[in-house]
Amino acid sequence: MKAVRVTTYGGPEVLEFSEIVEPTPGPEQLLVRVHAAGINRADCHQRAGNYPMPPGLGNVLGLELAGEVIAIGKDVNGFTCGDRVFGLVAEGAYAEVAVLDQGLAVPIPDSWSFAEGAAVIEVFCTANETVFELGRLVAGQSILVHAGASGVGTAVVQMAKNIGATVLFTAGSRIKIDKVLELGADHGIPYKTHDFVEEVLRSTDGEGVDVVEDFVGADYISRNLGVLKPEGRLVLVGTMGGQAAQFKLGSILRKRLSIHGFTLRAQSIAQKRAIVGRFRERWLTLLAEGTIRPIIHTCVPFKEVRHGHEIMEANENFGKIVLTFD
């Protein structure tokens, strides 16, 4: 079968198609014919050599997929051949066939395409864990979402508005800001031309926000702390701006702030099963009903995977970029 592997680090041009042996499902795994796979920022970091695979894994990219079950392990319950599923994997979604743990698999709602299925689990699980589990956002509170037009960002905006929170966000262009506002967000900040600290404090009458969802790191850390209310929560989900940060500890002590970090891939199967379970319980019905929805920027044919990475790295996307295999 064909798969996209990383055998040397670099730009999108290093992505190579290889013929590899079709995997065999373990006792609690599904064998899935992949119809669509999400492209994530982590894929680009891994390709560039900045996000190493956890020990014991291979070199086939891809963290989320949607497809049809073609075989099941002997201890699988609740799934059968022919089922349409989407799910979370530690590797291997950029391939024609992949294995998927049954606890990380979710049935695709009848009204969804495979592409929609592939655009959900990574961003909505991340959003739920960071904003609602770690960030403890509740109705009546407020959140600042950096990269509000990204896959996770568009999920956070919809989920936060659904529970009755106020949503501020940053984005790089007027077009992106307008699109995120259409999702229900309350205030957009063009970070290239405006200081987000000044804008947040101005729009909240100097109070700041309860939660900050940050994908940037670096010098954003100290500025994020400056817009948090007392007992506010900063959740760090990425380090697009760099991993080194300098900030004064006084505001953390004085305002009783907390800082949380989160990454999904490195967690154990048991932890991921719990994460997927919380996502299913709280959000799957709302997604199936269309109350909230995955935002897809574009679908890219599997053979054009390099182009998909180029779109991601150029920050052109509003929402998810999805590989399609049909």
Among 136, 167, 134, which Cα is nearest to 153's? 167
- Residues in the chain predicted with pLDDT less than 70, given as ranges, are none
Whole-angstrom Cα distance, residue 262 to residue 215? 10
Given this model, what pLDDT does residue 279 score? 98
Q: How far apart are the first and last CA of the chain?
A: 15
Report all structural domains of the chain as residue ranges with CATH numbers, in order of start.
Answer: 2-120+265-324 (3.90.180.10), 123-261 (3.40.50.720)
Whole-angstrom Cα distance, residue 56 to residue 123? 25
Question: Which residues does 318 contact at the CB level (< 8 Å), separation at least 6?
Answer: 149, 154, 175, 176, 179, 180, 295, 297
pLDDT digits (tens, 9 = 90+) for 231-251: 999 999 988 888 888 888 989
Given this model, what pLDDT does residue 25 score? 98
Residue showing tokens 């935002």: 295
CB burial string 14-32: b at 16+ within 10 A, e below: bbeeeebeebebeeebbbb
CB of 232 within 8 A of CB of 128? no
Given this model, what pLDDT does residue 266 score? 83
Phi-psi sector, 10: left (phi>0), alpha (psi -120 to 50), beta: left
DSSP assignment letter at 60: B
Given this model, what pLDDT does residue 58 score? 84
Q: Residue 185 is which amino acid?
A: A
Using only C-alpha atoms, the chain has a radius of gyration, in whole angstroms, of 20
Among 68, 22, 47, 57, which Cα is nearest to 308's? 47
Q: Which two tokens stand for residue 11?
A: 């730009």
pLDDT digits (tens, 9 = 90+) for 172-228: 999 999 999 999 999 999 999 999 999 999 999 999 999 999 998 889 999 999 999
Residue 321 sits at the vertex; the CA angle it makes with 20 and 138, to the nearest 5 degrees, is 120
